[in-house]
Amino acid sequence: MNQTLEVNITTRNMVSKFLTDYTLEQLNTIPEGFSNNIIWNIGHIIVSQQLLVYKLSGLPMMVSEELVEKYKKGTKPEHIVTQVEVDKIKSLLFATIDQTKADFNNKTFKNYNEYPTSTGFTLESVEDALVFNVVHEGLHLGNMMSIRKFI
């Protein structure tokens, strides 16, 4: 499982470049033909990882309910993200994965509530959630790479 978490860190390293290489305006831009922007995708992967790994394990999440409501599945950008919110998202990008790695190694995850994903795959354990999360984040990284061509 440590290999899966290392792949996740690699993906997050790629995502972090968007936060350093693009302006606040660019992060908030929704290009024509797209339904979201770069910063929404970043917030979404953080929130989704916390929901899939922690909430479904019955454990407290590192993200606020406010962040969950803005970035969970089924949402879209409905506000201009401020620099303060970008900084919060940036601080969570690696902190959430570092905590997950520590919690996994400390065997914190004891229970898991089965969850059928929208892709048709059912998550039955935290290990399933961690593997699925890497795929999910890869999809959103691809979305961000597409968006950047138009901003």
Where do we find the tokens 């399933």?
A: 128
DSSP states along 84-128 = HHHHHHHHHHHHHHHHHHHHHHTT-------EE-TTSPEE-SHHH
Task: Give me the sign of the Cα torsion angle 28, 30, 35, 41.
Answer: negative
The predicted structure's pLDDT at residue 30 = 98
Residue 78 belongs to domain spanning: 2-150
Instruction: Work out how many domains the chain is built from and give that number.
Output: 1
Cα 143 from chain centre = 13
Do residues 74 and 58 make contact, with C-beta atoms less than 8 angstroms apart? no
Series of mean pLDDT values for 10-residue runs along the chain (151 residues): 92 98 98 97 98 98 98 97 98 98 97 96 97 97 98 94
d(CA 11, CA 16): 9
The CATH number given to whatever domain includes residue 142 is: 1.20.120.450
Q: Note the pLDDT of residue 2.
A: 84
Q: Quick one: CA dihedral 40, 43, 45, 49, positive or negative?
A: negative
CB 7 within 8 A of CB 133: no
Predicted pLDDT at 1: 74
CB of 39 within 8 A of CB of 87?
Answer: no
Q: pTM of the entire structure?
A: 0.96
